[in-house]
Structure 1
Amino acid sequence: SPRADLPGQELVAKVLSADPVNVRLALSMKQMSTDPLTLSLDNLAWEAYASGSLGTDMQGLVDALATSVGVDSVKPTRVAQDPHHVAQELEVYLVRSDREAEGDYTAVARLGVSAMEMELRAAELNREQVKQLLQRVASRIFTQ
């Protein structure tokens, strides 16, 4: 993780805000680093989702999310195989999207060498509520 320990040390940072009254800058070094999850997802050979192509646990996740309170719809969009990343448990990640304000979210689920991207519509839920829902449903699916 990026660090700046010494006065005068040069660093690369993103300016988050500038306060001219107090002559202060809010900076983020973390936002300048590449997200390893996004990097690994970008390198996968994604294919369009075909009905019936999901494993039992992945389909169970989609079905459980679709019937969850606050979720309007769930639609798998892409699938991939990732032999370099073997997920021992069902992992679900919420991917940043510019459509979150309208209640449209993108999530990625991984289990074994399989990865699935899905579009989730949840107009009544905020980002944090969607993250909690994904984790709760994934843990329930995997422990059955």
Structure 2
Amino acid sequence: MAAGEGSYDDRDEVPLGGYAALAGAFAAGTALFAGVARRRGLRLPERVPPWDVALLGAATFKASRLLTKDKVTSFLRAPFTRRTEEIPAGEVMDEPRGSGVRRAVGDLVSCPFCTSVWVAGALTGGYVCAPRATRLVCAGLGAVTVADWLQYAWTLTEQEAEG
């Protein structure tokens, strides 16, 4: 069989088994949450107001960036990734390392889009169990998101003023 023939990718580096393990862990966590919530008699909200969706979205965005790109959270990613470069605003670029589950976790923790699904799941679970506390956490993360955009606007204004 030729190289790459019959494999998922040309270099045979995609850790499909690791991805399956992560998907299984996510599904198992969701099922466990649903089971515990049901046993405890937690009721799902009848509706989620658009404001809460926006708040959860902003918090998911910021928490995902903090977990996957922030310098200070590098210690969480280090077992699964390697730093490739520093980018503006105190963020870093990491690349996954290893193979199998380690590589799959590296892909997860270095990708804000991938991590956002897990963060959204956790925040949604929190919203069901403790909506007031979750809104407070989301408001804090949302405030940091707004502050980041103000920092970018300030920097851009300074650069334009300096010519």
TM bracket, shorter-chain basis: under 0.3
Higher helix share: 2
Higher normalized contact order (CA 8 Å, seq sep 6+, divided by chain length): 2
Higher strand share: 1
In the superposition, the TM-score normalised over structure 1's length comes to 0.23
